[in-house]
Amino acid sequence: MGARYNGLADWYDARFVVGAPRHQPGLLELLGPGSGPCLDLGCGTGRNFDTIRDSGRTVVGVDRSSDQLRLARTRTDGPLIESDAALLPFAAGSFDTVIAMWISTDLDDFPSALGEAVRVLRPGGLLVCYGVHPAFNGPHVQWNEDGTRLIHPSYRTPGWHDESPAWADDGIRKRVGMRHLPLPDLLNAFLRPELTLERVEEPEGMPVPHALALKARRN
């Protein structure tokens, strides 16, 4: 599968990054103060580089899309590498911190990518995953104008979705689709002997959560 975001970087950056708040809700607090290299897995155009630096860490970015990395290079002097998240070009224990922002719905195999993230963490290293809330955000969810959401029975249908009647014509999912992971599938990916799950949060921002964040530690 090719990089789904190639050809969309300028539109994506203008829509989601330029003018956006410097820190996504709760991310800086989840990271806490730290040091050393932080791998931004699926870094996109570099939206979270400021948060990494403000936490005391240094940026190393990886993304499958060369188009996204083209813009990310305007936001850091650190290493940026085009790579598949499920086959990272780093030795085991290379990083003190790994963040994975909004990638669970874009990858063909999120558990494998998570395994790679754990592999490149040193013992005691921190992993923060933050992204789509599987219960309230996905192809099974209809967003209503009054802020309520209607959940369809297709919640229990995992896999790739190219279409959903809930997706706006000018939104990212209409352009690239998404992979739906029901909540148990997402959480079970973290249940591995090398990892200890420390915290789960539904970051603020909307009355009905649209994001889910997990903080874990490499054993």
pLDDT over 70 for what percent of the chain? 98
Contact 182, 158 (CB under 8 A): yes
Other beta carbons within 10 angstroms of residue 186's beta carbon come to 24
pLDDT at 143 over 80: yes
Of 14-23, 111-120, 131-140, 160-169, which range is least confident?
160-169
Which pLDDT does position 1 carry in this prediction? 45
> What tokens appear for 158 in the block?
């995992």
Mean pLDDT of 54-66: 97
Q: What is the dihedral of CA 115, 121, 127, 132, to 10 degrees?
A: -40
Which pLDDT does position 4 carry in this prediction? 87
> Which of 112, 60, 125, 50 shows the shortest CA–CA distance to 86?
112
pLDDT at 93 over 50: yes
Which pLDDT does position 168 carry in this prediction? 67
167-211 pLDDT tens trace: 766 688 888 889 999 999 999 999 999 999 999 999 988 889 999
pLDDT at 160 over 60: yes
Which pLDDT does position 145 carry in this prediction? 86
Burial of 100 (C-beta count, 10 Å sphere; 0-12/13-18/19+): buried
pLDDT at 144 over 80: yes
46-55 pLDDT tens trace: 999 999 999 9
Mean pLDDT of 100-108: 94
pLDDT over 90 for what percent of the chain? 83
pLDDT at 130 over 80: yes
